[in-house]
Amino acid sequence: METVTITMKNPPALYLEADNVSPDAFAGKTAAQIAELHVHEGNVTSTLGKYFDVSGNAGATAVDTKIIVKGDVKKVKYLGFKMSAGELVVEGSTDLYAGAWMTGGKMLVKGNAEGFAATAMKGGELVIEGNAGNYLGAAYRGDWRGMSGGKILVKGNAGSDIGMYMLGGEIIVNGNVDVHVCTHAEGGKVIIKGNAKSKVGGQMVDGTIYVFGSIDTMMPGFKPAGEIELEVDGVKAKFAHYIGDMGERHKKKKGQIVYANLYKKI
């Protein structure tokens, strides 16, 4: 695997849209060619090389390419946009749309990621060592197809609206989350190791949520369905089981109505 390192040398006055920073866009290019790729600051289009030092050549394909992003990229959007393979490591914190629409490969953010990370993710793995913003693994605005595959791990806290319209895949948040988890979801699995606030599973059709900590306000549409012993992400514990959202439409499978499941650790 070849490694390309890009280091911020000339931070933008506004915000930078760097949707070409992905193993797919870098693949098969030399450092000089990578420096010529487009970035956008507002309505001005310029090159990656204007803002970043680029060293190292990319591999022949995305699979053989690893990118390391160094320096202050707190004002850089779209890192890892639509990546399908390879690796991307952001050494600090980054702005909106980290790993948005990714379909494969591994992305690691060592700091925080702002909103819309892993929007409509289809595959691959995104690890955020700090905190994630709002709309983690959610659908893009107006779309009804959210995250459908892959895995997201947030070691810190996450914001509101995580897993909105989720169809599949897995989100694990080690910390706490804000309001609205899996709104409108029709599949997938979300594990919250910390606390959740309210509106957990609102309008949920299908899918599963596990909450290890507290939930401030339960949705009235989630009906108690007993207690159950489960092993979740390596932890064995007793969970209170709820099914819902009883107000929402549900599919039938083999004559049985399929509800979404919410498990809260006792």
Partner 1 sequence: MTKTVTDVICPFCGTLCDDLEVVVSDDGKQLLEVYNACVIGTEKFLHSQSKDRVTRPRMHQPDGTWKEISYDEAAEYTAQMLAKAKKPLMFGWSSTNCEAQSVGNEIAEITRACCDNTAATCHGTSLIAIQDIGLPSCTLGEIKNRADRVIFWGCNPAHAHPRHMSRYSIFPRGFFTGKGQMSRKLIVVDPRVTDTAKMADVHLQVEQGKDYELFDALRVAFKGEWLPDFVAGIPKEKIREVADMMKSGRFGIIFFGMGVTQSLGKNHNIDAAIAVTKDLNEYTKFSIMPMRGHYNVTGSGEVFGWQFGFPYAVDLTRGFARYNPGDTSTIDLLVRGEVDAMFTIGSDPGAHFPISAVKQFAHIPSVCIDPHLTPTSGVSKLHVPVAFNGVECGGNCYRMDNVPIDCRKVVEPPEGMLTDEQFLIKVRDRVKQLKGAA
Q: What is the contact surface with partner 1 in residues (CB under 8 A)?
A: 13-15, 17, 40-44, 77, 96-97, 115-116, 134-135, 140-142, 144, 179-180, 183-184, 198-199, 202-203, 217-221, 223, 245-248
Determine the number of helices (DSSP H) and then strands (DSSP E) in the chain. 3, 21
Torsion over CA: 74, 76, 79, 82 (sign): positive
d(CA 82, CA 90): 16
d(CA 171, CA 147): 10
Query: Whose Cβ is closer to partner 1: residue 206's or residue 245's?
Result: 245
Q: Say if strands 38-41 and 44-47 run parallel, antiparallel, or are unpaired.
A: antiparallel
Query: Whose Cβ is closer to partner 1: residue 14's or residue 266's?
Result: 14
The secondary structure element, H or E, covering residue 239 is strand 235-244
Query: Whose Cβ is closer to partner 1: residue 104's or residue 146's?
Result: 146
Query: Whose Cβ is closer to partner 1: residue 169's or residue 244's?
Result: 244
The partner residues of 128 in beta bridges, in order of sequence, read: 109, 154
**Cβ(185)–Cβ(164) under 8 Å?**
yes
In sequence order, what are the residues at sequence separation of 6 or more whose Cβ sits closer than 8 angstroms to the Cβ of residue 253?
A: none
Q: Minimum distance between the CB of residue 146 and partner 1, rounded to whole angstroms?
A: 12
Q: Minimum distance between the CB of residue 126 and partner 1, rounded to whole angstroms?
A: 18
DSSP state for residue 235 in the 8-state scheme: E
Query: Whose Cβ is closer to partner 1: residue 85's or residue 205's?
Result: 205
Q: Minimum distance between the CB of residue 48 and partner 1, rounded to whole angstroms?
A: 16
Query: Whose Cβ is closer to partner 1: residue 14's or residue 229's?
Result: 14
CA–CA–CA angle 103, 105, 111 (5° rounding): 105
Q: Map tokens 């992305």 to a residue.
A: 107
Q: Minimum distance between the CB of residue 84 and partner 1, rounded to whole angstroms?
A: 22
Q: Minimum distance between the CB of residue 110 and partner 1, rounded to whole angstroms?
A: 22
**Cβ(85)–Cβ(102) under 8 Å?**
no
Q: Minimum distance between the CB of residue 15 and partner 1, rounded to whole angstroms?
A: 5
